[in-house]
């Protein structure tokens, strides 16, 4: 894990890309019956991912590094977080403003990419470690493999894959709700039309129409990184249905997004809450903060849940003596319920 991660985070702007590096443990412990979501992932023996390995064993050492891994919260911290959320619920977004923000979300993402162009996010060079399936797809003997990056933004998954690709039969498509984002990808010097395409597409497209040129059940790997959180909860069912329609039998979804009580959630001030755990940023873009249980419920209806894990980081500003807790969720889902495919 890099110790040079940003310590300054604003809840009033879209989040910067975290330069996280993790390794994956493919051996997933099996448990009998339902999981107990009231205890930590480690205590219930659920360790599908192994994230960073810098452990804080003594509070006296906290200021020695910029970041610490697997820092579990105590009851006092959870109570404090719930108190902050309760204050947010006292002053939600005004109904008129909510209707504006919910009416045309693409407008705000277009504006975001006009303002930031391709410089806001860093290329995700850690993808081959986070998600080995992407690395395997790039090998020269991997054969025909189709990758779809949903919410491609400035090409933050597409371009690292293209730059390292040795597979002559690889195809990768980036789709985004924002026309401006797709324009940035197509005009990039890293865009290679021999292997790549970019199209405008709504993940929650209500008609079920797929991206232009994509046939049903033709995609091997779907990548969604900090994307699903931009959807309103009432769009989740349609989005999952659309993903189901895209994937081949045994195709996989690689997922990373924001977790409940993440620093950015707790920093939201009055007038930013749209619905429970769903917010509007200062630039008009939306963000939801998930729990592991919610991901099981959302995706488990249509997919086999291979892995779901919480990546917890204690970020430290040593100069100002500030502690900042980041929480992300990472998951992998498989289209093994092929008999239900439509």
**Per-residue pLDDT at 47 exceeds 50:** no
Q: How far apart are the first and last CA of the chain?
A: 41
According to the model, what pLDDT value does residue 246 have? 98
Per the prediction, the chain carries an average pLDDT of: 80
According to the model, what pLDDT value does residue 59 have? 59
pLDDT digits (tens, 9 = 90+) for 296-305: 999 999 999 9
pTM summary value: 0.80
Please state which architecture CATH assigns to domain 39-54+61-67+92-340. Answer: 3-Layer(aba) Sandwich (3.40)
Q: Is pLDDT larger for residue 65 or for residue 95? A: 95
According to the model, what pLDDT value does residue 7 have? 33
- Distant-in-sequence contacts of 81-86, Cβ < 8 A, 24+ apart: 81/261, 81/266, 84/266, 85/265, 85/266, 85/277
Distance from C-alpha of 83 to C-alpha of 119, rounded to nearest angstrom: 36
Distance from C-alpha of 287 to C-alpha of 201, rounded to nearest angstrom: 19
- In this prediction, residues 182-207 reach a mean pLDDT of 94
* Residue 87: φ, ψ to 5°: -65, -35
19-23, 56-60, 149-153, 239-243: lowest mean pLDDT where?
19-23
Distance from C-alpha of 320 to C-alpha of 316, rounded to nearest angstrom: 9
Structural tokens at position 145: 């493999």
User: What's the DSSP call for residue 246?
Assistant: H
Distance from C-alpha of 183 to C-alpha of 130, rounded to nearest angstrom: 27
**Per-residue pLDDT at 177 exceeds 60:** yes
Q: How confident is the model at residue 103 (pLDDT cuts 50, 70, 90)?
A: confident
**Per-residue pLDDT at 320 exceeds 70:** no
The pairing of strands 145-150 and 219-225 is parallel
Q: Is pLDDT larger for residue 24 or for residue 92? A: 92
**Per-residue pLDDT at 67 exceeds 70:** no
Q: Is pLDDT larger for residue 116 or for residue 173? A: 173
**Per-residue pLDDT at 295 exceeds 90:** yes
């Amino acid at each position: 894990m890099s110790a040079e991660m940003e310590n300054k985070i604003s809840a009033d702007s879209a989040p910067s890309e975290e330069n996280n590096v993790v390794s994956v443990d493919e051996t997933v412990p099996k448990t009998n019956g339902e999981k107990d979501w009231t205890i930590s992932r480690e205590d219930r023996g659920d360790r599908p991912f192994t994230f960073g390995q810098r452990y804080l064993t003594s509070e006296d050492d906290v200021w020695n590094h910029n970041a610490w891994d697997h820092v579990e919260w105590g009851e006092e911290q959870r109570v404090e977080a719930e108190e902050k959320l309760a204050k947010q619920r006292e002053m939600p977004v005004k109904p008129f403003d909510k209707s504006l923000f919910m009416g045309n979300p693409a407008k705000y993402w277009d504006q975001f990419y006009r303002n930031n162009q391709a410089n806001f996010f860093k290329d995700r060079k850690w993808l081959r470690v986070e998600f080995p399936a992407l690395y395997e797809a790039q090998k020269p003997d991997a054969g025909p493999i189709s990758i779809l990056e949903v919410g491609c933004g400035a090409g933050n998954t597409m371009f690292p894959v293209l730059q390292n690709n040795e597979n002559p039969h690889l195809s990768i498509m980036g789709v985004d709700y924002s026309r401006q984002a797709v324009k940035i990808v197509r005009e990039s010097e890293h865009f290679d039309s021999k292997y790549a395409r970019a199209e405008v597409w709504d993940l929650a497209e209500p008609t079920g129409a797929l991206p232009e040129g994509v046939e049903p059940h033709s995609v091997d790997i779907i990548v969604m990184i900090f994307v699903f959180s931009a959807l309103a909860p009432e769009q989740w069912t349609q989005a999952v249905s659309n993903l189901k329609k895209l994937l081949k039998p045994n195709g996989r979804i690689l997922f990373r997004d924001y977790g409940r009580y993440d620093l950015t959630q707790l920093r939201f001030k009055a007038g930013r809450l749209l619905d429970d755990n769903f917010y509007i940023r200062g630039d008009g873009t939306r963000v939801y903060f998930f729990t592991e249980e919610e991901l099981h419920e959302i995706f488990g209806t249509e997919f086999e849940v291979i892995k779901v894990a919480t990546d917890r980081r204690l970020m430290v500003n040593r100069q100002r003596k500030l502690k900042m807790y980041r929480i992300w969720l990472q998951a992998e889902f498989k289209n093994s319920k092929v008999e239900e495919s439509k």
